[in-house]
Amino acid sequence: MMSPADLADELFTSAMLDELRTIVSLHETVIAELDDHGRGALRDAELVIGGWGAPRISPADAPVLRSIVYLGGVAATCLEDIAEWSRLGLTAANARSINAAPVAEYALAMILLDGKDAFAAIRAQSRGGVLASKQIAHFGNFRRTVGIVGLSQTARALIALLRPFELDVVVYSPELTPALADELGVRMRTLEEVMTEGDIVSLHQPLTPATRGQIDRGLLSLMRDGTTLLNTARGAVVDQDALADRLRDGSIRAILDVTDPEPLDDGHELRSLPNVVLTPHIAGSLGSELHRMGQNAVEEVRRFVAGAPFRHPEVLM
């Protein structure tokens, strides 16, 4: 189940589909909507493989369903009446940690490029000039401080990717304890300290009522001149007007893969500021990276058939 139906062709290679056919009796039509055909296919389904845009199904739609393997962050997004599904013992797996990998890779790349002031150098070259070495002398990645806000799957993946580099990593999260900080090899800080100490601050908190606009004018004012805000979380965790005000004088920089709204209006100021790098929400799985999610789904289906617990389970609640 996913919509549009041809999304399945992006997630699964033909070899993966052949592998699935050796494991289960695979329905050959992708269910993109709950029409008569879709409901008919679900009547006898014990396992559903779901993806983005999947229709929401109730226990009445799939009376013998035992499990759902979801190729996105939250399997519950395609389920109606979660409480009843939970009572019936439906098990679920999602690909949140799988999709965290390319986001963490994007963040790592941006952190290292920003440390070399690569984006300013690109702009200078495009204008026919170059940055003099003295203009970038205070940059570089040796013992640079990377601030991380949040301890999501992506944040943890990023922390692991940062380990080979001689960087100082400071982290704020309500989940972080001294013992966990030692285990991860990071230094525990308050949110204010992360904003103050970070040469680049990478955002990885979920969007909740508590985090909407969390990176506000006061926190942005704590960032030292010459530092960078990197956002691959959600645009709305930042007070975007306050960010534009801080960016306007060129004292800090921003790398934004997410904005609020998304995309920004054509004339939005963040599109034209020279100290802003905008990418169109490309950090998550794209192209061949989608096959990583498809392969994970195949492996979870194997576990289901073998009666083994999912590698990436989701608690339905």
Asked whether residue 69 falls in the same domain as residue 212, the answer is no
Same domain as 109, residue 65: no
Let me know if residue 269 belongs to a domain.
yes
Kindly provide the b/e burial profile for residues 55-71, where b requires at least 16 CB atoms within 10 angstroms of the residue's own CB: bebebebbeebebbbbb
Provide the pLDDT for residue 251. 93
Selecting among 123, 281, 291, 292, the annotated active-site residue is: 281
Mean pLDDT to the nearest integer, 224-249: 96
Active site annotation includes 234? yes
Q: What is the spatial distance between Cα 223 and Cα 220, in angstroms, rounded to a whole number?
A: 6
Predicted local distance difference test score (pLDDT) of residue 274: 93
123 in active site: no
Predicted pLDDT at 299: 98
Does the annotation mark 253 as catalytic? no
Q: Is residue 1 part of a domain?
A: no
Is the peptide bond prior to 4 cis by the omega test (within 30 degrees of 0)? Answer: yes
Q: Are 172 and 191 in contact (CB under 8 A)?
A: yes
The C-alpha atoms of residue 242 and residue 7 are separated, in whole angstroms, by: 38
Q: How far from the centroid of its chain's Cα atoms is residue 228's Cα?
A: 19
Q: Structurally, how many domains does the chain consist of?
A: 2
In a domain, 2, yes or no: no
Token pair 């289906």: residue? 301
pLDDT tens for each residue of 50-97:
999 999 999 999 999 999 999 988 999 999 999 999 999 999 999 999
**Per-residue pLDDT tens over the stretch 215-232:** 999 999 999 999 999 999
Range of the structural domain that residue 108 is part of: 100-278
Marked catalytic residue, from 37, 262, 271, 311: 262
Q: What CA–CA distance (Å, rounded) separates 69 from 307?
A: 14
Are residue 86 and residue 228 in the same domain, yes or no?
no
Mark residue 94 as left, alpha or beta (left: phi above 0; alpha: psi -120 to 50; beta: remaining).
beta
**Residue 243 predicted with pLDDT over 90:** yes
Q: How confident is the model at residue 122 (pLDDT cuts 50, 70, 90)?
A: confident
Choose the catalytic residue: 234, 246, 253, 312.
Answer: 234
Q: Is residue 107 located within the same domain as residue 212?
A: yes
